[in-house]
Amino acid sequence: MKKETAIKLFESQKVRTIWSDDDEKWYFSIVDVVSVLTDSLNPQVYWRVLKKRLIDEGNETVTTCNALKLKAADGKMRLTDVADTEQLFRLIQSIPSPKAEPFKLWLAKVGYERIEETEDPELGFDRAMETYLKKGYSTAWINQRLKSIEVRKELTDEWDNKGVKKGQEYALLTDEITKAWSGKIVKDYKKYKGLKKENLRDNMTNLELVLNMLAEATTTEISKEKKPKNFAENKIIARQGGTVAGNARKEIEAKSGKKIISNLNAKELKKITNQKKKLE
């Protein structure tokens, strides 16, 4: 099963999802859905109790549910009970909630949007733009972020073509690129910004994003030309791509007299922006 994970928002509440290319379906974290519908302080316990009751009743909704790996609150990939749209529609009937009907409409919309985006990929970017705007990001930053997603996708496609394995090998190569241009591996960079499970790129300044894009785009181009045959060669190329952006960073810092790598995260950057607007 080729899988693509994503976070979907229902009334600002996160629902972890995973797309399967094999059967062309979204699968949704049941615990997240329970949390949305019930506002329970412990949705995992709520789901365990409900699951047992449904099994005792002979309800096949839960007996056929899959368990797939999704990112947990601690940042690790853990097996999580998931259900497709049809299963969720049946499951919702067992959960008394005033949000049931709006959530059903949301489920149908998520499925329809995926079909639309397959036929017209630009719609995916439009919806990403809308999501970031709702989170309070500026239009200029969002444009950079969307471009960075495109650049990253080109790099991971190149890695796939060269036999790089998703997961640990992706992470190791990303660390090589990031350290070469910023001086920090991803874990240390996130720690520097006070982040835990948040996405590092979502917490970069415009210039940090630009340099990260330069590093990844350069790595892609070098890889296409040098055609690495194994992971060790990919690692060398990742370092080379990151070094190009690292040299650019040093030159900008030398000319501007300011450090590029910022310890500010998105939350703090938004506060500064809002304060400037009030002063204006």
Q: Rounded to an integer, what distance in angstroms lies between the CA atom of residue 262 and that of residue 208? A: 8
Burial zone of 211 (CB within 10 Å; 0-12 exposed, 13-18 middle, 19+ buried): buried
> In the chain, what is the straight-line distance between the N-terminal and C-terminal CA atoms, in Å?
53
What phi and psi values does residue 184 have, to the nearest 5 degrees?
A: -135, 145
258 in helix, strand or coil?
A: coil
User: Hunting for tokens 């080379």 — which residue is that?
Assistant: 240
Digit-by-digit pLDDT tens for the chain (280 residues) are 445 566 666 767 888 888 775 666 778 899 999 998 998 889 999 999 998 888 888 877 766 778 888 888 777 888 888 988 888 888 888 888 888 888 888 877 776 454 444 434 444 556 667 777 777 788 888 888 888 988 998 999 999 999 998 888 999 999 999 999 999 999 999 999 998 878 899 899 999 999 999 999 999 999 999 999 999 999 999 999 999 999 999 999 999 999 999 999 988 877 776 666 666 5
Secondary-structure breakdown of the chain: helix, strand, coil percentages, each rounded to the nearest 5 = 65, 10, 25
Residue 111: predicted pLDDT? 61
Residue 136: predicted pLDDT? 79
Residues 6+ apart with CB under 8 A from 150: none
> 3-state SS of 228-263?
CCCHHHHHHHHHHHHHHHHHHHHHHHHHHCCCCCCC
Residue 70: predicted pLDDT? 85
Q: Rounded to an integer, what distance in angstroms lies between the CA atom of residue 4 and that of residue 118? A: 13
- Per-residue burial over 146-163, b if 16 or more Cβ lie within 10 Å, else e, is bebeebbebbbebbeebe
Residue 3: predicted pLDDT? 54
pTM of the model: 0.59
Residue 7: predicted pLDDT? 64
Break the chain into its structural domains and give their ranges.
3-119, 127-279
Q: Rounded to an integer, what distance in angstroms lies between the CA atom of residue 20 and that of residue 271? A: 38
Q: Rounded to an integer, what distance in angstroms lies between the CA atom of residue 91 and that of residue 88? A: 5
* Bridge partners (DSSP) listed for residue 71: 77
Q: Rounded to an integer, what distance in angstroms lies between the CA atom of residue 199 and that of residue 203? A: 7
Task: State which amino acid sits at residue 131.
Answer: T
Residue 117: predicted pLDDT? 46
Element (H, E) at 13: strand 13-20
Residue 75: predicted pLDDT? 76
Residue 12: predicted pLDDT? 72
Residue 2: predicted pLDDT? 44
Cβ neighbours of 165 (radius 10 Å): 11
Pair 24, 5: CB distance under 8 Å: no
Cβ neighbours of 136 (radius 10 Å): 12
Cα dihedral 10/14/15/17 (nearest 10):
110
Q: Rounded to an integer, what distance in angstroms lies between the CA atom of residue 7 and that of residue 16? A: 5
